[in-house]
Amino acid sequence: MRLFAAADLVISDEWIRTPTGVWAVADVRDVWITRRGQAGRGSRWLTAGLAAGGLTALLGSAGLLGWLARGWPWLLLAPAVLLVAGSVGLLDPLAVYLEKRHHELWISTADATVLVWKANRVEAGKALRQIQRAQERHRESFDA
């Protein structure tokens, strides 16, 4: 039974087929998604720390220069402004960028770790879930 089909990927109850190869679901030990060019854990903490430090420096400077005392209503309005900007479509380019980022679907077997497919996060997630379903069905049929 075919569970998922895309231009370069077909997943059934028994196998996963791509232009580069065919793998039996029974042979798949693990399946996961990564984002292409994904930063490591240490890099993410460094980025978060730098962003927090930058925000603290910005707020501190605004306070020292006296803008914070005069402009605090703008800080309160910022979430509402972002909400309105998002509702009228001004943030759509950001959403399109985030949607088009490529995520990679990987599997590991006893022989190798293989990049199976590249797609956006939603499609890669759908394919991941179907591989997991095929693995569950295979285990159920094996246990029965």
pTM, rounded to two decimals: 0.61
Written as one letter, the residue type at 96 is V
CA distance 77 to 128: 41
CA distance 55 to 22: 50
> SS3 letters for 36-100?
CCCCCHHHHHHHHHHHHHHHHHHHHHHHHCCHHHHHHHHHHHHHHHHHHHHHCCCCHHHHHHHHH
pLDDT bracket for residue 106 (50, 70, 90)? very high
The tens digit of pLDDT for each residue in 31-80 reads 999 987 655 566 678 888 888 999 889 888 888 888 888 888 888 898 89
Query: What is the residue extent of each domain of the chain?
Result: 2-36+102-128, 41-98
pLDDT score for 27: 92
Contact 24, 14 (CB under 8 A): yes
